[in-house]
Amino acid sequence: MQPQINEPAAPERKRIFSAIQPSGMLTLGNYLGALKNWKDMLDDYDCVYSVADLHAITVRQEPAKFRRQVLETFALLMAVGIDTEKGTLFIQSSVPEHAQLAWILACNTQFGELARMTQFKDKSASHADNINAGLFTYPSLQAADILLYNAHLVPIGADQKQHLELSRTIAERFNHFYGPVFTVPEPYIPKMGAKVMSLQDPAKKMSKSDANQNAYIALLDPPEVIVRKLKRAVTDSETEVRCAEGKDGINNLMTIYSCVTGKNLKEIEAEFDGRGYGEFKAAVGEAIAEELRPVQRRFSEYMSDKGALEKIYREQAEKARYTASRTLAKAMKKVGFIR
- By the rule CB under 6 A, 73 interacts with ligand ATP: no
- By the rule CB under 6 A, 34 interacts with ligand ATP: yes
Per-residue DSSP letter, 176: H
Cα gap 121→124, rounded to integer Å:
5
Q: Is 208 a catalytic residue?
A: yes
Q: Is 205 a catalytic residue?
A: yes
**Which segments within 220-284 are labelled E, that is strand?**
none
- By the rule CB under 6 A, 20 interacts with ligand ATP: yes
CB 175 within 8 A of CB 182: yes
Residue whose CB is less far from ligand ATP, 15 or 36: 36
Report the candidate in 8, 94, 15, 81 with the shortest Cα–Cα distance to residue 48: 15
Q: For the CA atoms of the chain, what is the radius of gyration?
A: 21
Burial 314-323 (b: 16+ CB within 10 A, else e): eebbebbbbb
Cα gap 256→277, rounded to integer Å:
15
Residue from 36, 205, 247, 281 carrying the catalytic annotation: 205
- By the rule CB under 6 A, 69 interacts with ligand ATP: no
- By the rule CB under 6 A, 58 interacts with ligand ATP: no
Closest distance of CB 180 from ligand ATP, Å: 29
Residue from 123, 229, 281, 319 carrying the catalytic annotation: 123
Report the candidate in 156, 201, 129 with the shortest Cα–Cα distance to residue 139: 156
* 266: number of Cβ within 10 Å: 10
Interface mask toward ligand ATP for 142-181; x: CB under 6 A: ---------------x-x----------------------
Q: Binding ligand ATP by CB under 6 A: which of 21, 92, 150, 251?
A: 21
- By the rule CB under 6 A, 29 interacts with ligand ATP: yes
Residue whose CB is less far from ligand ATP, 181 or 252: 252
The residue of the chain with the least Cβ separation from ligand ATP equals 33
Restricted to residues 187-246, the positions that interact with ligand ATP (CB under 6 A) are 195-196, 205-209
- By the rule CB under 6 A, 33 interacts with ligand ATP: yes
Per-residue DSSP letter, 35: I
Cα gap 81→69, rounded to integer Å:
18
Number of residues that bind ligand ATP (CB under 6 A): 17
Per-residue DSSP letter, 214: G
Angle between helix axes 97-106 and 306-335 (nearest 10 degrees) is 30
Residues taking part in catalysis? 123, 205, 208
Residues that bind ligand ATP (CB under 6 A): 20-21, 23, 27, 29-30, 33-34, 157, 159, 195-196, 205-209
